[in-house]
Amino acid sequence: MEDERSFKSAVKEFALQTPPWQFAFQFDPSGDFSQYVRKLNAWSRGLELAEAFVPNSYYVGVVEGAIIGRVSIRHELNEFLRRVGGHIGYGVIPSERRRGYATEMLRLALPICATLGISRALVTCDVDNIGSQRVIERCGGWFEGLTDCPDLEVQKRRYWISTEQPGATTPDQDRPIQTPALTPGNIAPDSAGAPVAPPSGAADR
């Protein structure tokens, strides 16, 4: 299945970067892909959640049929997410960065948050991640302050974004955007067609 190959390719590319970044939690590339998707669907409904995870919705950014990134929307915040992780985590595979995809995916995630009853979304990034900082600010992020967590090697910048009236996104002039399709988990839907959603609450965005 082409979708499965594209998904696994994204997982591999994120794993090879330094430091590695989890595209999909608890994913075994050698396992049954349809079983993994069914497990993710259960998580999205708040079922069979691992310890410290919360329900969330998972979307992949797709350009010309290839997965170029993902967005995770956490339906609620646990202690870790409230301090560090936030409502929305996103990532673009290294080979597709600096094309405006992260900005577009975050922008498209905001109205989805609104439908979940999240009027203000908490979004965070590493203090030294200038690219992510710009993405969040383009999407209307209001800077609240920095985390002060002794257990973090790198502290986070904390932003709040209104999901009902998000700020305008303005990409850099030298980074033309080909808008990615933000696709719910239909890469391998179960018979009910429910959107896949990986767990939330881990340290990766």
92-119, pLDDT tens digit by residue?
999 999 889 999 999 999 998 999 999 9
- For residue 196, the 8-state DSSP code is P
CATH superfamily entry for domain 2-184: Gcn5-related N-acetyltransferase (GNAT) (3.40.630.30)
Q: Is the pLDDT of residue 66 over 60?
A: yes
Domain assignments of the chain as residue spans, ordered by start: 2-184
Please name every residue paired with 89 in a beta bridge, in sequence order, or none if there are none. 72
Nearest to 17 by CA among 59, 58, 62, 69: 69
Which pLDDT does position 38 carry in this prediction?
A: 83
154-178, pLDDT tens digit by residue?
999 999 999 986 554 544 444 433 4
Q: What secondary structure does DSSP assign to 21-56, as a single string?
A: --SSTT--TTS-HHHHHHHHHHHHTT-SPPTT-B-E
125-156, pLDDT tens digit by residue?
999 999 999 999 999 999 999 999 998 989 99
Q: Are 60 and 70 in contact (CB under 8 A)?
A: yes
Which pLDDT does position 164 carry in this prediction?
A: 84
Q: Is the pLDDT of residue 31 over 50?
A: yes
